Amino acid sequence: MIKSMTGFGRGEYSDGKRSVVAEIKTVNHRYSDINVKMPKRYSFAEEKIKSIIRTRIKRGKAEVSIIVENLTEEDITVKLNEMVARQYIDNLKELKTSYELGGDIDIALVATLPDVMKAIPDVENEDEVTNVIEQAVILATESLDSMRTAEGGKLAEDLMMRGELIRGIIKKIDERAPLVVKDYTEKLYNRIKELTEGAVDVPEDRILMEAAVFADKSNITEELVRLESHMIQLSNILSTGNSPVGKKLDFLVQEMNREANTIGSKSNDLEITSLMLETKSEIEKIREQVQNIE
């Protein structure tokens, strides 16, 4: 099954104590690159997250976001920041003395000051938390995989269509190619007659020799056969290949371009040149689409 490298997946899972939301966004990349963003306190689960994603993503860049919401107070510890509290009290005393202010510095005031009291998450069971995160990530990867597969199907259809277009053009070139030598021979014969103004007989053997040299230099049969073979390979990979096939297709497109360039350089015919420009345009579109395939 052909898969696109671009997609988005979201998964949410709760065990009653905490709720985890996992989101994965993937884009094109030559290799596999996974970047996980989540609270630092859960970093112990990062490698497990990457391992799960690697089972579904073989190539592409993945941005993973993990959001954890505690539903109970079991993982929360409230702590006093004594250093901050002491600085507040000392500064308040100095303020009171310096400006002869009234009022008491009591616990009700100090306790409400910023950062004096902090609710600090306290993970007690890493395996338990990791399991919840895993379940959310699995759901996200399944959602992502579904989108990437659907998009891959559309890409495969487009590439198959362009491959058939090129095969049609190859057929036209194959039909035109034998006529090129014939046209060249006639033009050469007529040009010699024109230059000599019919004063001398045109040497048939010399004309045939020149035509043979031209035919040898401009022969594109092998290139057409190879280009046709590449189109068949493209069809086979798209219809029977299992992802990842992106690198294989990328190499195949390079070979397509190689044959197309050779045909274009050897051709001495405007009609074939025009058809090759059309072919190269389609190959370029195939190349662009292949960049999106895993």
pLDDT in tens, 226-245: 999 999 999 999 988 676 89
pLDDT at position 192: 66
Nearest CA to 13 out of 87, 68, 75, 91 is that of 68
Give this prediction's pTM. Answer: 0.72
Residues 6+ apart with CB under 8 A from 94: none
The pLDDT mean for the chain works out to: 88
Q: How far apart are CA 259 and CA 228, in angstroms?
A: 10
Quick one: pLDDT at residue 188?
Answer: 64
- Laid out side by side, the sheet with 32-37 consists of 7-14, 18-27, 60-70, 32-37
pLDDT confidence of 221, banded at 50, 70, 90? confident
Is residue 206 predicted with pLDDT exceeding 80? no
Q: Where are the beta strands (DSSP E) in 15-110?
A: 18-27, 32-37, 60-70, 76-80
Q: How far apart are CA 207 and CA 188, in angstroms?
A: 7
Structure tokens at 236: 């086979």
**Considering only CA atoms, which of 225, 228, 283, 213 is closest in space to residue 254?**
283
Is pLDDT larger for residue 138 or for residue 107? Answer: 138
Of 16, 40, 13, 21, the closest CA to residue 120 belongs to 40
Nearest C-alpha neighbor of 170 from the set 233, 238, 216, 223: 223
pLDDT digits (tens, 9 = 90+) for 41-94: 899 999 999 999 999 898 999 999 999 987 766 666 788 889 999 999 999 888
Instruction: With beta carbons less than 8 A apart as the criterion, state whether 50 and 35 touch.
Output: no
Q: Has residue 275 got a pLDDT over 70?
A: yes
Percent of the chain with pLDDT over 90: 55
Please report which helix (H) or strand (E) contains residue 254, including its range.
helix 246-266
Which tokens sit at 58?
A: 């073989």
**Among 143, 140, 131, which residue's Cα sits nearest to residue 14?**
131
Q: Which residue has the higher pLDDT, 166 or 126?
A: 166
How far is 280 from 242, CA to CA, in rounded Å?
27
Q: Output the pLDDT for position 258.
A: 94
Tell me the C-alpha distance between 113 and 97, whole Å: 20
Q: How many residues belong to the chain?
A: 294
pLDDT one-digit tens code per residue, 85-124: 999 999 988 888 888 888 888 888 888 889 888 877 665 6
Amino acid at 154: K
Q: Max Cα separation, the chain?
A: 128
Q: What was the pLDDT predicted at 220?
A: 87
